[in-house]
Amino acid sequence: MAVSALWRRMTLGDRLLLFVLLALILITLPVTRSQGKGARLLVEQDGAVLYAAPLTASGRWRFQGPLGESEIEVAHGGARIVSSPCPHKLCIALGRIAHPGELIACVPNHLLLRIEGESASSHDLITR
Amino acid sequence: MRRVLTLLGLLVAALLLRQLLFPASYDVRRSQILLGTVVEIDLHGADASRLEAAVSEAFAEIARIEALMSPINPSSDVARLNMTTAPLAVHPETASVIAFGAELAQKSGGAFDLGLGRIKALWALESETPHHATAEELAPLLRDLGPGDVSLTDIGMAQRAPAVAVDLGGIAKGYAVDRAVAVLSRAGEVWGSVNAGGDIGFVGSRPDRLWRIGIQHPRQAGEVLATLSLEGGAVVTSGDYERFVEIEGERYHHLFDPSTGEPARRCQTVTVVADGAMLADVLATALFVLGPEKGFPLVESYHASALLVTVDGAVHTSPTLSGVTWP
């Protein structure tokens, strides 16, 4: 009732202004909700973040794990493990990651490299 | 002045309406190495602090299950059970996991087995020095294997046959995923997923569409074999390409056939869709050993469905599998 009474009292200009305001709110919705951000590399160990920086920050870093020191390289928008004390070196064999959602895990040395950001993948998850 | 106030009121009302119709949505995504694999939890909801707390609680829950059921942890139920041949009182959750595994061992005709610890230790595929086990070495370890080798007594105590060592590797991960999903579901109006190295459990349904889950191609790294569209439940894949070593040019993987003590040779990969991750985990292991002809009826008897690739590269789907799209 109150809304219809208010609507009747509004002039054409008021209604136009209201329409513009509502349209603006709806148009800006995807922008304000997406909270989009560039791809960042996270290096984690036992739930703690050891390193977090944009993939554009090139360099080499060393991290201590239970088996010894692992070295990672960030270059040309990607990251990889270049040396590891783990027995099979599977983490090195996994190669380079460069896209949001990709990760490299060195299970024996408790090291996790993960790229965070808006994923362009058409899948929510991959089962393997 | 009155007009300005009216318009300001309208603006506030419109903003409130937007918040009501399109509440803010947060996404908490974290990973940890647990259960010998990477566990990823992704949770969406309207209350960021509640999401953070729920995800932390879910990881703690998985760590708790690992402490109970890891064969490496010397104080776990599994390690203690492997140190004695007498019946042993174990945590009720360990007992229920053993009971379910023993049931599947029976129903799969021994294709699933909770007593493969010594076989795995002999091959040592995940160590620095993997070993090609010979038939002579395997024979004494196979003697006590089979349905009933790990079981519960009438009063719920766990027991094992003397020549076997308990290994819950084919079931505990699925159970831990189910527990994490249960913990996350208590956080209210949330949706998301728990992915423990390919054992995936869903927290509710996506609000916008079905879940799209890619199945890794077993022989083409980075390629998807098929896509599953799922409303919820769980999906688990067991493949010969994730954990394997090559000894003298031949591939040896971690999924053993309890009848031979050798890596199972019928399949390259198996994916099971079920209501829960523990069920899907066990069925995937059994199906990998059995192959489609004997395995699909077992899967269907538990109202689950499956897709597998046999060793010759042929793709098979169980009769009730739906929602599959091919690339």
Tell me the CATH number at B142.
1.10.3980.10
pLDDT band at A2 (very low <50, low <70, confident <90, very high): low
Domain count, chain B: 2
The pLDDT tens digits for B10-40 are 666 666 666 666 667 899 999 999 998 999 9
Nearest to B183 by CA among B76, B68, B70, B64: B64
Q: Which residues on B lie below 8 Å from A47 (Cβ)?
A: 30, 32, 59
Cβ count near A65 (within 10 Å): 17
User: How far is residue B126's CA from residue B244's CA, in Å, rounded to a whole number?
Assistant: 8
Cβ separation A14–B3 shorter than 8 A: yes
DSSP secondary structure letter of residue B217: P
Residues B123 and B154 in one domain: yes
User: How far is residue B56's CA from residue B47's CA, in Å, rounded to a whole number?
Assistant: 15
Q: Which residues on B lie below 8 Å from A87 (Cβ)?
A: 127-128
Give the DSSP per-residue string, A9-20: H--HHHHHHHHH
The pLDDT tens digits for A27-75 are 655 444 433 346 899 999 988 889 999 988 899 999 999 999 999 999 9
- Note whether residue B135 is domain-resident: yes
Residue A1 has pLDDT above 60, yes or no: no
Residues B135 and B91 in one domain: yes
Q: Which residues on A lie below 8 Å from B231 (Cβ)?
A: none
User: How far is residue B7's CA from residue B14's CA, in Å, rounded to a whole number?
Assistant: 10
Residue B41 has pLDDT above 50, yes or no: yes
Task: Look up the domain containing B42 and give its range.
Answer: 24-71+170-196
Residues B100 and B150 in one domain: yes
Measured between CA atoms, how close is A110 to chain B, in angstroms?
A: 6
Q: Are B236 and B272 contacting, i.e. CB atoms less than 8 angstroms apart?
A: yes
Six-digit token pair at B210? Answer: 């079905």
User: How far is residue A84's CA from residue A104's CA, in Å, rounded to a whole number?
Assistant: 12
Give the DSSP per-residue string, B60-125: HHHHHHHHHH-SSSTTSHHHHHTT-SS-B---HHHHHHHHHHHHHHHHTTTSS-S-BHHHHHHH-T
Six-digit token pair at B302? Answer: 């538990």
Which has the higher per-residue pLDDT, B145 or B1?
B145
Residues B67 and B190 in one domain: yes
For residue B258, the model assigns a pLDDT of 96
DSSP secondary structure letter of residue B231: S
Cβ separation B211–A105 shorter than 8 A: no
Residue ranges per structural domain of chain A:
2-34, 40-116
Cβ separation B6–A14 shorter than 8 A: yes
Cβ separation A46–B195 shorter than 8 A: no
Residues B84 and B132 in one domain: yes
Measured between CA atoms, how close is B26 to chain A, in angstroms?
A: 9
Residue B174 has pLDDT above 70, yes or no: yes
Q: Are B195 and B40 contacting, i.e. CB atoms less than 8 angstroms apart?
A: yes
Cβ separation B7–A17 shorter than 8 A: yes
Q: The tokens 């719920």 sit on which residue?
A: B156
Which of A26, A112, A126 has the CB atom closest to B31's CB atom? Answer: A112
Nearest to A62 by CA among A40, A39, A85: A85
User: Mean pLDDT in chain B?
Assistant: 92
| Interface with chain A: mutation pick from B4, B15, B38, highest number of A CBs within 10 Å | B38
Residues B150 and B108 in one domain: yes
CA nearest B219 in A: which residue? Answer: A128
What's the one-letter identity of residue B147? P
Cβ separation B7–A110 shorter than 8 A: no
For residue B30, the model assigns a pLDDT of 92
Residues 221-240 of chain B with CB under 8 A from chain A are 224, 227, 235-237, 239
Residues B44 and B103 in one domain: no
What superfamily in CATH does domain A40-116 come from?
N-utilization substance G protein NusG, insert domain (2.60.320.10)
- Note whether residue B185 is domain-resident: yes
Cβ–Cβ contact B127 with A under 8 A: yes
Cβ separation B38–A105 shorter than 8 A: yes
Strand ordering across the sheet containing B267-274: B26-34, B37-45, B191-196, B199-203, B234-239, B267-274, B305-310, B315-317
Residues B132 and B181 in one domain: no
Residue A84 has pLDDT above 60, yes or no: yes
Cβ separation A25–B14 shorter than 8 A: yes
Q: Phi and psi for B57 in degrees, rounded to 5?
A: -65, -35
Which of B11, B126, B206 has the CB atom closest to A21's CB atom? Answer: B11
Cβ–Cβ contact B32 with A under 8 A: yes
DSSP secondary structure letter of residue B180: H
Q: Which residues on A lie below 8 Å from B32 (Cβ)?
A: 44, 46-47, 112
Measured between CA atoms, how close is A76 to chain B, in angstroms?
A: 20
Residues B30 and B155 in one domain: no
User: How far is residue B254's CA from residue B241's CA, in Å, rounded to a whole number?
Assistant: 9
